[in-house]
Amino acid sequence: MKCTVCKHGETRPGAVSVTLERQGATLVFRQVPAQVCDNCGEAYHDEVVSMQLLQKAEEAVRAGVEVDVRRYAAA
Protein backbone atom coordinates (compact mmCIF):
# COMPACT_ATOMS: atom_id res chain seq x y z
CA MET A 1 0.00 0.00 0.00
CA LYS A 2 1.08 3.60 -0.47
CA CYS A 3 2.36 5.22 2.75
CA THR A 4 -0.15 7.72 4.12
CA VAL A 5 2.57 9.65 5.98
CA CYS A 6 5.18 10.43 3.31
CA LYS A 7 2.94 9.72 0.29
CA HIS A 8 5.96 8.39 -1.65
CA GLY A 9 6.91 4.98 -0.26
CA GLU A 10 5.32 1.57 -0.52
CA THR A 11 4.89 -0.64 2.53
CA ARG A 12 6.58 -4.00 2.81
CA PRO A 13 6.29 -6.75 5.45
CA GLY A 14 8.76 -6.29 8.29
CA ALA A 15 9.17 -6.08 12.04
CA VAL A 16 9.61 -3.07 14.31
CA SER A 17 9.96 -2.16 17.97
CA VAL A 18 6.92 -0.57 19.61
CA THR A 19 7.12 1.52 22.79
CA LEU A 20 3.95 2.05 24.82
CA GLU A 21 3.65 4.30 27.88
CA ARG A 22 0.73 4.30 30.27
CA GLN A 23 0.20 5.27 33.91
CA GLY A 24 3.94 5.47 34.61
CA ALA A 25 4.75 2.19 32.84
CA THR A 26 7.04 1.97 29.82
CA LEU A 27 6.75 -1.18 27.72
CA VAL A 28 8.89 -2.03 24.71
CA PHE A 29 7.86 -4.82 22.36
CA ARG A 30 10.49 -5.99 19.86
CA GLN A 31 10.02 -7.84 16.58
CA VAL A 32 6.40 -6.70 16.16
CA PRO A 33 5.08 -7.62 12.70
CA ALA A 34 4.15 -4.61 10.58
CA GLN A 35 3.91 -3.19 7.12
CA VAL A 36 6.85 -0.76 6.97
CA CYS A 37 7.25 2.10 4.49
CA ASP A 38 10.38 1.64 2.37
CA ASN A 39 10.81 5.41 2.18
CA CYS A 40 10.17 6.90 5.64
CA GLY A 41 9.99 3.82 7.89
CA GLU A 42 6.45 4.43 9.16
CA ALA A 43 4.99 1.19 10.52
CA TYR A 44 1.41 0.02 10.12
CA HIS A 45 -0.01 -2.76 12.32
CA ASP A 46 -3.11 -4.78 11.60
CA GLU A 47 -6.02 -4.82 14.02
CA VAL A 48 -5.10 -8.18 15.58
CA VAL A 49 -1.53 -7.10 16.39
CA SER A 50 -2.72 -3.75 17.77
CA MET A 51 -5.29 -5.40 20.03
CA GLN A 52 -2.73 -7.93 21.32
CA LEU A 53 -0.23 -5.16 22.11
CA LEU A 54 -2.82 -3.15 24.00
CA GLN A 55 -4.01 -6.22 25.91
CA LYS A 56 -0.47 -7.17 26.95
CA ALA A 57 0.23 -3.58 27.97
CA GLU A 58 -2.93 -3.45 30.08
CA GLU A 59 -1.96 -6.71 31.81
CA ALA A 60 1.50 -5.33 32.58
CA VAL A 61 0.09 -2.11 34.03
CA ARG A 62 -2.31 -4.08 36.24
CA ALA A 63 0.62 -6.21 37.44
CA GLY A 64 2.52 -3.08 38.50
CA VAL A 65 5.24 -3.27 35.85
CA GLU A 66 7.19 -0.02 35.48
CA VAL A 67 9.64 -0.95 32.70
CA ASP A 68 9.53 -4.04 30.53
CA VAL A 69 11.23 -5.08 27.29
CA ARG A 70 9.99 -8.23 25.60
CA ARG A 71 9.89 -9.94 22.23
CA TYR A 72 6.43 -9.85 20.67
CA ALA A 73 4.70 -13.22 20.60
CA ALA A 74 1.28 -13.68 19.06
CA ALA A 75 -1.26 -15.05 21.51
In a domain, 4, yes or no: no
CATH number of the domain enclosing 23: 3.10.20
Q: pTM, whole model, 2 decimals? A: 0.88
Q: Count structural domains, the chain.
A: 1
In a domain, 1, yes or no: no
In a domain, 2, yes or no: no
Span 27-47, average pLDDT: 97
Cα–Cα distance measured from residue 16 to residue 11, given in angstroms and rounded to the nearest whole number: 13
Instruction: State which residues form the domain around 24.
Output: 11-71
In a domain, 60, yes or no: yes
Q: Which residues are CB-contacts of 43 (< 8 A; sequence separation ≥ 6)? A: 14, 16, 18, 32, 34, 35, 36, 37
pLDDT digits (tens, 9 = 90+) for 16-33: 999 999 888 999 999 999
